[in-house]
Amino acid sequence: MATVQRSGAPARAAEPSSESAVVEVCDLRMRYGSTDVLAGLTFQVHRGEVLALLGPNGAGKTTTIEILEGFRMRSAGEVSVLGVDPKHGDEAWRARLGVVLQSWRDHAKWQVRELLAHLGVYYAPYSTERIRRPWEVDDLLATVGLAQHANKRVGQLSGGQRRRLDVAIGIVGRPELLFLDEPTTGFDPEARREFHDLVHRLADIDDTTILLTTHDLDEAEKLADRIVILAGGSIIAEGSADQLTRRISAQAEIRWTLDGQRFVHATADSTAFVRNLFQQYGDAIGDLEVRRPSLEDAYITLVRDFEAGRTTTAVRDFSEVVR
Amino acid sequence: MNPTVIAARAGLTRGWIEFRQSLTNYNDLAGYILPNAIFVAVMYFQRHATIPGMPVSLGARTLPSVLGMSVGFGLILLAQQLAVEREDGTLLRAKATPNGMLGYLIGKILTVTGMTLTGCLVSFVPGVVLFGDVLTDDPRAWLHLIWVILLGFAATLPIGAVLGSLLSNPRHLGLVMLPWMALVGTSGIFYPITAYPGWAQGIAQAFPLYWLGLGARSGLLPASQAALEIGGSWRHLETAAVLGTWAIMGLILAPVVLRRMARHESGSAVEARRERALQRSGR
């Protein structure tokens, strides 16, 4: 499954549509004037999966997610979201999606409960045997941790509470697929932690598929089952956080001191090396440290390689590692 | 039940909720009271002023004129709310909700209609206390007033929706507000239009505001008052024709412009406007 798609390669990379693919994107292109914002993306998101689109600012993350949401037209390529082309998505299709928007000062005069109850009404006709829509308001308030603020006016909520309301509005229709665009921008660490817990809970309940964009590596690593790294409108790597770091380097770095002197050694088999080290020097070894490359290392290397114009080489290297 | 019907009913609820909010909110209450207090003061000071040949005082004549003008003010309210709610992302939320745009629009029209009628009453009720004895008691005239008000809403609200969709920024509302005030000045609201130069009369008669004032006067003032209007008549047929033409134009144009506006809404569009607004007022 962990294939790396060559940027710009047409249908070849597309896998036969599988039952479980909630989102299928094939050779998606977006062009403004003579600038390619998206230069041929191909990827899938599977049912129940949390996929993070990771990349520097201007990589095309938001453009991609807005095309999938049906809020933006594309220049070329095939896109299917819940089996429908977003270009032709009707209201019944829209009812199966959740979009978490960043609130600012909209609905400031509304009460929290009143607003959620109101927005839920629109989803009622799209309730099915399997998925009861909308989410019952008190239950939803408890899920996002806003129960004690139910009667507050939206304009009186704190920043963190407001973002939880944004999530509540995004999921009030019990979406099968949820979009989160840069969800924790401007959060303090505590709010971020709470938000991550909430997303984990959502992914567990109802098997909701989640597609999020972020430029925060830590966030991608914590939340995502799989990460797609975007740079300059192309996918430059794809895989779990673990796979991505292994691709950048299979070697771990080992540091230790011996008789007050510092040593560093890189090796693929760190366990054997350390065992050997102790056998040889025993108690004389101090300050032992085994460090594997982090997702951050992998990301920085990938993006730097890409920006240095070595994309094609980098992608080829990774493809070879995978095979 | 049919999703469209459910969304339409949700829109009615929405309209009622937002109208209720406007009655319990300091800013909105000030918006109801301040301008109307000025209009009532104008009528009060005009209560003994007369012009030769006019059977009622200038103040009594201003009462229905202001009523007609206040109906037309729905145009400004709707344009303003659309521009503001596009900037703050309310519209994008509606777009992300199934049939949400339908509910949003029905709600908005209802809220603005409610707010406009409330605004009318705030000046009309004290006005009736001042001039009740002068107003006509012919029930047919009151029926006439009702159709003028209904047609007036139809002629002005769709245009307000169009203008609100075209405004790229709520701070540009002055582009709608200033011509509006100029029109109020030339439309014979506070003084008979026959005293104005011909070109000003011509301009005023091309827009709904003059006809709203005329229609309201014809509904509330004694028939002899018509002598002071253009052509010495209430011109009911012309009133219906001009207001009807604006209504048809608006109803054709509004869906096209609204749809175009809605199509362009996206998270990044709202984000860009937010950045711009914060830069303006941030510090």
Contact state of A66 with B268 under an 8 Å Cβ cutoff:
yes
pTM, two decimal places:
0.85
Question: Is B260 exposed, middle or buried, given 0-12, 13-18 or 19+ CB atoms closer than 10 A?
Answer: exposed
Flag whether residue B237 sits within 8 Å of chain A, measured between CB atoms. no
Cα distance between residue A186 and residue B253, in whole Å: 41
> Residue B273 corresponds to which tokens in the numbers above?
């406007």
CATH number at residue A58: 3.40.50.300
Strand blocks (E) in A33-183:
35-46, 50-54, 76-81, 97-100, 177-181
ipTM of this complex: 0.89
Tell me how close the Cα of A72 comes to any Cα of chain B, in angstroms.
7
Per residue in A203-258, pLDDT tens?
Answer: 887 789 999 998 888 888 889 999 999 998 999 889 998 888 877 666 788 999 98
A220 and A286 in a common domain? no
Please check whether residue A170 lies inside any domain of the structure.
no
- Measured CA to CA, the distance from residue A234 to residue A220 in angstroms comes to 18
Amino acid at B223: A
Residues A272 and A184 in one domain: no
Chain A contacts of B96, Cβ < 8 Å? 69, 94, 97, 99, 101
Q: Are A271 and A288 in contact (CB under 8 A)?
A: no
Distance from CA of B110 to the nearest CA of A (A): 16
| DSSP assignment of A175-228 | -SEEEEESTTTT--HHHHHHHHHHHHHHHHGGG-EEEEEES-HHHHHHH-SEEE
Q: Is residue A298 part of a domain?
A: no
Structure confidence by residue, pLDDT tens digits, A257-316 = 988 889 998 888 888 899 998 999 888 888 899 888 788 888 888 888 888 875 454 454
d(C-alpha A116, C-alpha A121), whole Å? 9
pLDDT digits (tens, 9 = 90+) for A114-135: 999 999 999 999 999 988 999 9
Q: Do residues A236 and A285 share a domain?
A: no
Say if A185 is an interface residue toward chain B (CB within 8 Å). no
Structural domain includes residue A76: yes
The DSSP-derived string for chain B is --HHHHHHHHHHHHHHHHHHHHHS-HHHHHHHHHHHHHHHHHHHHTTT---TT-SS-HHHHHHHHHHHHHHHTHHHHHHHHHHHHHHTTHHHHHHHSTTHHHHHHHHHHHHHHHHHHHHHHHHHHHHHHHHTTTS---HHHHHHHHHHHHHHHHHHHHHHHHHHHH-SSGGGGHHHHHHHHHHHHHTTSSS-GGGS-HHHHHHHHHSHHHHHHHHHHHHHS-GGGGGGSGGGS--HHHHHHHHHHHHHHHHHHHHHHHHHHHHT--HHHHHHHHHHHHHHH--
The answer to whether residue A99 neighbours chain B at the CB level (below 8 Å) is yes
User: Would you call A62 and B268 a contact, using CB atoms and an 8 Å cutoff?
Assistant: yes
A88 in reach of chain B (CB within 8 A): no
Domain check: are A191 and A225 in the same one? yes
Asked if A106 contacts A112 with a C-beta cutoff of 8 angstroms, the reply is: no
CB contact under 8 A, A95 and B2: no
Any B CB within 8 A of A125 CB = yes
Say how far apart CA B259 and CA B86 lie, in whole Å. Answer: 13
Residue A102, chain B, CB below 8 Å: the answer is: yes
* pLDDT score at A229: 92
**Beta-ladder partners of A286:** A257
Mutant choice from A61, A63, A73, A106 vs B, greatest count of B C-beta within 10 A: A106
Residue A268: which domain range?
250-292
Q: What is the pLDDT of residues A18-65, one digit of tens each?
A: 557 999 999 999 998 888 899 999 999 999 999 999 988 888 998 999
Mean pLDDT rounded to a whole number for chain B: 91
Query: Apex CA A210: angle with CA A216 and CA A63, to 5°?
Result: 65
The nearest CA of chain B is from the CA of A195 a distance in Å of 20
- Residues in chain A, total: 323
- Does A103 fall in a domain? no
SS3 call for A9: coil
pLDDT confidence bin for B179, thresholds 50/70/90: very high
Sign of the four-CA dihedral B255, B256, B260, B261 = negative
Which amino acid is located at B184 in the chain? V
The shortest CB-CB distance from B17 to any of A65, A69, A114 is to A114
Q: Give the Cα separation of B104 and B96 in Å (integer).
A: 12
| Residue B239 predicted with pLDDT over 90 | yes
Query: How many domains does chain A contain in total?
Result: 2
E strands present in chain A: 21-32, 35-46, 50-54, 76-81, 97-100, 177-181, 209-214, 226-231, 234-239, 252-258, 261-267, 285-291
CB contacts < 8 A, A to B, total 89
Q: What pLDDT score was predicted for residue A312?
A: 52
CB contact under 8 A, A110 and B21: yes
Q: For residue A314, tell me if it sits in a domain.
A: no
